[in-house]
Structure 1
Amino acid sequence: MDTGHVFIFDTTLRDGEQVPGCKLNTPQKIEIAQQLEKLGVDVIEAGFPISSPGDFKSVVEISKHVTNPVVCGLSRGVKKDIEVAADALKYAKRGRIHTGIGTSDHHIKYKFKSNRERILEWGAEAVTHAKKFVEDVEFYAEDAGRTENEYLARVCEAVIKAGATVLNIPDTTGYCLPDEYGAKIKYLVDNVRGIENVTISAHCHNDLGLATANSISAVMNGARQIECTINGIGERAGNTSLEEVAMIIKQHPRLNLTNNINSKLLNPISRLVAERMGMLVQPNKAIVGSNAFAHSSGIHQDGVIKHRETYEIIDPLEVGLDESLIVLTARSGRAALAYRAHKIGYTLTKLELDRVYEVFLDHADVKKEIFDEDLHEIISATRLSSKVEA
């Protein structure tokens, strides 16, 4: 029975690490995997074992160091890949082999130089082989986003019959529109025999900026696993952002969906991944960007000071931050100035605030942002000037 619970499959250590220049060593991967476990992810895709000795070792060691999440190893639909993945997962408390093959005509014709019937057989054979080693086998239909629905349904039916427990329906190129991707998931739910016995998974890329929207559309139409990464990192323009989908599910009760993510750990793990990978988070990134809870417009600042929910739909405390930021700029008003002044120990009278505000604007027109040390100087100089005048 569908409970509405969405499993969070984190692929930061596999798809996320495919970003050029973001290679992690094994101790760093273990560190991140342990934090992912604390965060509450259900599945950790620990690597692609056959790709390198380092990746193999990382999957082995992560399997030893985490207890609650399923540890997953990626493979192509090739016997040797599958066997190496199984070997890497031998210490996993709960191991999963993630195997598959491209199903779109683009992949069948140009990548495999094959035909639909052979690809269908190949996919089923890969799952059958993987089942010899683990009970939990996830099948990916690469480029499912551009795969004709009727053929995709045939592939899904064949791999379910072969023993797949999870069906990954990737929008590999990030091409689908949300309604189109959601409709694809619904088509599979309505037309694949045995689909009720497996978990449908959404794996979306962000080439057109639609990864998160597509993933949410998928779970609204029957998918119950989202494959994502911390900070949305990944191949090309990245993957679905874990923090975004987790908070969308939390903030929209009408979706009637749940997940196990401890949202208060989102910002700490975001910073950890950014530091270890040397990949800064863009300031305007939802949930974890440095500007996500920062306000510089006077109108917005006044509203937030009076009642936070006027301009914020998420309490910063829910995602691991202490408070919203009131940033002083030339667009700030008296309310923000008085608020920040009070934060650093000053209670200004209305007359003092008017005088300080005039001086503040002169400084703010020169500097992009007025910091606390600047404000100390402005207030002290203004008060001294007032005494001299008196």
Structure 2
Amino acid sequence: MKKIEKYSRNYFMPPVKSMKWSEKEYITEAPAWCSVDLRDGNQALVVPMNLEEKLEYFQLLVDIGFKEIEVGFPAASDTEYAFLRTLIEKNLIPDDVTIQVLTQAREHIIRKTFESLQGVSKAIVHLYNSTSVAQREQVFKKSKEEIISIAITGAKLLKKYALETEGNFTFQYSPESFTGTEIEFALEICNNVLDEWQPTATEKVIINLPATVSMSMPHVYASQIEYMSDHLKYRDNVIVSVHPHNDRGTGVADAELGMLAGADRVEGTLFGNGERTGNVDVVTLALNMFSHGVDPQLNLENIPEIIAVFERMTKMKVSERHPYGGELVFTAFSGSHQDAISKGIKWREGHEDKYWTVPYLLIDPKDIGREYEGDIIRINSQSGKGGIAYVLGQKYGLDLPTEMRESFGYSVKNISDRLHKELVPKDIYDIFVKEYVNIEKPFAFINYQFKSYDDYHTTVKIKVNNDVQEFEGIGNGRLDAISNIIQNKLDIKYTNLVYKEHALEIGSGSQAVSYVGITSEDGSVYWGCGIDMDIMASSIKALFSAVNKLISVEATPVK
């Protein structure tokens, strides 16, 4: 591809080896989270949120547990200014939540920003200016010295207006387009800003190192963060923050490796909504920690509810395959996956296991508000007998014998394949009832009576082609006596009667369910199911259902 010649690696490695992050196995504690949904997320929407929507979204972020929330660029937009004033004047900011506002390093913007903050209890004022080679050369046409001067001037103005404004303010500086900036220059400009602010243990500042455009593989970003973290002045009093975008699809990886490299704080959005390909997805990032047994310090126990508000406010959809949040991320259609999942869940019922180890499920879906029923195993032409049996068990309380599952599984898969669609639980149940339950043609069981329990002497009434007939027989047991009548009086030959029964615990608690399998003379196996208030009647109905399938021209045997 000739077009490839115009691309080069426009990022900068640290001047010294910065790879201590690679020796760490996992993240040990949650970072300080800052939601930028109301800034980066909002400006990425085709139709930005109005005031009422922003207020509702702000409350969602508070409920999730964000302690820092960027509420916008109040000096650049009347809507964002009004939003901030509404939050302050209506006392809508909880005491344990700090709002963050964004400002360029220009005096009239900084002045208006602090005007918008009048009366706030505490706030982070986020100062930024672009530092990358491309921005310096192509946009601002300024030297490194001039870019540093812009940053220092902005830092001084923040101090000036903070002293003139009532409230507690934390300063934050971002060398915007950090990933396209020479690392030594990024360090120089940040240290100049830190010298101006002189952070202390009680008045810390934030240095935010954004992947404004993701330009490298995640390990490069991690090395850049580690170098900055190791060489920033006043490091004990500096909170190192990352703000990854997702241009290369590595936003989560950038943030995770950035934390291993020394970042104390992460700025991101719910489900990664942000400009271009998006910001880092805080939901995925937090639940990745959760999957390693680390408390992310965010309330994500009801993902469906969060998604509902997110989609209504943003008019965007969370992808069906979005990690954790997507409708299908815990769903198995594959037969082998379904079988392993259903067996894994069943195994946990009889074992005390401290850790979650169910095959194919990274976390327990119930921990984030998802249900096994309807979420975990869904049925189409790719599904297997285990998954199909699992759906019948979970939804309708039917516990099919292992041998019967294969026969029914083929029926369901064939129907799904023919219709070319997914089958919902009711579809599967209806197929099962139609093909197996209480089948009455050509022979319909009417009633039975045991005359003697010594040899299980039995009489049974059967409707044969609309003609009710009564037969007598004996056997080694009650069902065996009925079976002997069918074989001897109706001249139907089969062997290897297999029987299973259980109470029907879902839907109607007093009913009994029986399953009977019989083998025809050619070795084909036919199954039937009987459901009745009486356990014996249910077993007889199951036997008649199997027999009717055997002699029906529509029967589909499974050898």
Residue in structure 2 matching 1:321, options 342, 367, 370: 370
Instruction: Quote how far apart the aligned CAs of 1:345 are.
Output: 1.6
Q: Deviations over 1:187-221 (max 9, x none)?
A: 11222221221111100111110111001111101
Q: Classify the secondary structure of the residue corresponding to 1:49.
A: coil
Q: Deviations over 1:265-301 (max 9, x none)?
A: 4442233112211100111100111112111111111
1:369 aligns with 2:409: no
Residues of 1 paired with 2:327 and 2:42: CA distance?
22
1:7 aligns with 2:32: yes
What runs of 5+ residues in structure 2 fail to find an aligned partner?
1-27, 163-167, 200-204, 346-357, 443-547, 549-559
**CA separation of 1:319/1:90 partners in 2, compared to 1, >3 Å: closer, same or farther?**
farther
Instruction: Quote how far apart the aligned CAs of 1:41 are.
Output: 1.1
1:87 aligns with 2:126: no
Kindly provide the amino acid, as one letter, of the partner of residue 250 in structure 2: L
Greater mean alpha carbon deviation, residues 29-38 or residues 276-285: 29-38
Kindly provide the amino acid, as one letter, of the partner of residue 297 in structure 1: S
Instruction: Quote how far apart the aligned CAs of 1:177 are.
Output: 1.5
1:275 aligns with 2:312: yes
1:301 aligns with 2:338: yes
1:40 aligns with 2:89: no
Identify the structure with the greater strand proportion.
Answer: 2
Q: Classify the secondary structure of the residue corresponding to 1:202.
A: strand
1:222 corresponds to which residue? 262
Identity %: 24
2:277 corresponds to which residue? 237
Residue in structure 2 matching 1:162, options 186, 196, 213: 196
**CA separation of 1:21/1:312 partners in 2, compared to 1, >3 Å: closer, same or farther?**
same
Contact persistence 1:243–1:266 (CA under 8 A):
no
Residues of 2 paired with 1:60 and 1:105: CA distance?
37
| Bigger RCO (CA 8 Å, 6+ sep) | 1
The 5 Å alignment of 1:61-140 reads 61-63=86-88, 64-67=91-94, 68-131=96-159, 132-133=161-162, 135-140=169-174
1:261 aligns with 2:288: no
1:144 corresponds to which residue? 178
Contact persistence 1:206–1:239 (CA under 8 A):
yes
Contact persistence 1:171–1:205 (CA under 8 A):
yes
1:181 aligns with 2:221: yes
Matched pairs, number? 385
Residues of 2 paired with 1:113 and 1:153: CA distance?
21
Instruction: Quote how far apart the aligned CAs of 1:385 are.
Output: 8.2
Residues of 2 paired with 1:77 and 1:174: CA distance?
24
1:359 aligns with 2:403: no
Q: Classify the secondary structure of the residue corresponding to 1:51.
A: coil
1:383 corresponds to which residue? 436
Residues of 1 paired with 2:82 and 2:329: CA distance?
37
What runs of 5+ residues in structure 1 fail to find an aligned partner?
none
Normalising by structure 2, what TM-score? 0.66
Q: Classify the secondary structure of the residue corresponding to 1:208.
A: coil
Kindly provide the amino acid, as one letter, of the partner of residue 108 in structure 2: K
Q: Classify the secondary structure of the residue corresponding to 1:135.
A: strand
Instruction: Quote how far apart the aligned CAs of 1:362 are.
Output: 1.9
Q: Classify the secondary structure of the residue corresponding to 1:166.
A: strand
Residues of 2 paired with 1:265 and 1:226: CA distance?
22
Q: Classify the secondary structure of the residue corresponding to 1:41.
A: coil
Residues of 2 paired with 1:211 and 1:369: CA distance?
33
Residue in structure 1 matching 2:389, options 333, 338, 342: 338
Greater mean alpha carbon deviation, residues 225-234 or residues 366-375: 366-375
2:76 corresponds to which residue? 51
Residues of 2 paired with 1:258 and 1:316: CA distance?
16
Alignment root-mean-square deviation, CA: 2.0
**CA separation of 1:180/1:41 partners in 2, compared to 1, >3 Å: closer, same or farther?**
same
Residues of 1 paired with 2:324 and 2:265: CA distance?
21
Instruction: Quote how far apart the aligned CAs of 1:360 are.
Output: 0.9
Residues of 1 paired with 2:97 and 2:306: CA distance?
16
The 5 Å alignment of 1:187-198 reads 187-198=227-238
Kindly provide the amino acid, as one letter, of the partner of residue 120 in structure 1: I
Contact persistence 2:302–2:370 (CA under 8 A):
no
Contact persistence 2:251–2:280 (CA under 8 A):
yes
Instruction: Quote how far apart the aligned CAs of 1:56 are.
Output: 0.9
Contact persistence 2:386–2:405 (CA under 8 A):
no
Instruction: Quote how far apart the aligned CAs of 1:376 are.
Output: 3.0
Contact persistence 1:46–1:62 (CA under 8 A):
no
Contact persistence 2:389–2:400 (CA under 8 A):
no
1:284 corresponds to which residue? 321
Residues of 2 paired with 1:234 and 1:295: CA distance?
30
- Kindly name which structure, 1 or 2, has the bigger radius of gyration based on alpha carbons: 2
Q: Classify the secondary structure of the residue corresponding to 2:125.
A: strand
Residues of 2 paired with 1:270 and 1:69: CA distance?
22
**CA separation of 1:271/1:382 partners in 2, compared to 1, >3 Å: closer, same or farther?**
same
Contact persistence 1:60–1:91 (CA under 8 A):
no
Residues of 2 paired with 1:147 and 1:30: CA distance?
36
Contact persistence 1:71–1:89 (CA under 8 A):
no
**CA separation of 1:121/1:266 partners in 2, compared to 1, >3 Å: closer, same or farther?**
farther
